[in-house]
Amino acid sequence: MKTNRIYETDGHIFSFDAVVVDCVGVETGYALALDQTAFFPGGGGQDPDEGELNGEAVIRLFEKDGLIYHVVAQPVPVGETVHGELNEVLRFRRMQQHSGEHVLSGLAHTLFGCENVGFHMSDDFVTVDFDRPLTAGQIASLEQKANEAVYANAAIRCEKPEAAALKTIEYRSKLDLTENVRLVIIEGIDVCACCAPHVRRTGEIGLIKVLSFMNYKGGVRLTVKSGGDALADYAAKGAQTSELIAMLCAKEADIPALVRKLQEEAASLRLALAQEQRLRAAAMVEAVEQTDGNAAVFGEGLSADALRFAVNEGVSRTGGLFAAFTPAEAGYRYCMGSKTVDLSAFAKAFHAALGGRGGGKPNMIQGSVPADRNQIEEFLMK
Ligand SMILES: [Zn+2]
Centre of ligand 1 to C-alpha 296, Å, is 70
Centre of ligand 1 to C-alpha 198, Å, is 8
CATH match for 4-86 among 2.40.30.130, 3.90.380.10, 3.40.50.300, 3.40.50.720: 2.40.30.130
Same fold, 4-86 and 91-243: no
272-275, long-range: CB < 8 A, 24+ apart: 273/303, 274/303, 274/305, 274/306
Query: Where does the pLDDT of residue 356 fall: very low under 50, low under 70, confident under 90, or very high at 90 and above?
Result: very high
Centre of ligand 1 to C-alpha 129, Å, is 13
How far, in Å, CA of 31 to CA of 28, rounded?
9
Q: Mean of the pLDDT values across residues 109-116?
A: 97
Centre of ligand 1 to C-alpha 196, Å, is 6
Instruction: Select from 70, 91, 89, 99 the least CA-distant residue to 194.
Output: 99
Partners of 364 in beta bridges: 337, 361
Centre of ligand 1 to C-alpha 362, Å, is 62
What pLDDT digit, counting tens, does each position of 45-65 carry? 899 999 999 999 999 999 999
Centre of ligand 1 to C-alpha 158, Å, is 11
How far, in Å, CA of 147 to CA of 140, rounded?
11
Centre of ligand 1 to C-alpha 45, Å, is 8
How far, in Å, CA of 120 to CA of 132, rounded?
18
Centre of ligand 1 to C-alpha 197, Å, is 8
Centre of ligand 1 to C-alpha 193, Å, is 7
pLDDT of 123: 87
Centre of ligand 1 to C-alpha 147, Å, is 18
Q: Mean of the pLDDT values across residues 259-279?
A: 97
**pTM attached to this predicted model:** 0.81
The residue ranges of every structural domain in the chain are 4-86, 91-243, 272-380
Q: Mean of the pLDDT values across residues 246-263?
A: 96
CATH domain 272-380 topology: Diaminopimelate Epimerase; Chain A, domain 1 (3.10.310)
pLDDT of 175: 73
Inform me whether the pLDDT recorded for 120 exceeds 90.
yes
What pLDDT digit, counting tens, does each position of 12-56 carry? 999 999 999 999 999 999 999 999 999 999 998 899 999 999 999
Centre of ligand 1 to C-alpha 102, Å, is 6
Centre of ligand 1 to C-alpha 177, Å, is 15
pLDDT of 44: 85
What pLDDT digit, counting tens, does each position of 128-171 carry? 999 999 999 999 999 999 999 999 999 999 999 998 899 899 99
Looking at domain 91-243, its CATH class is alpha beta
Instruction: Select from 294, 323, 270 the least CA-distant residue to 382.
Output: 294
Centre of ligand 1 to C-alpha 172, Å, is 10
- Given a contact cutoff of 8 angstroms between Cβ atoms, the answer to whether 192 and 184 are in contact is yes
| Amino acid present at 173 | S
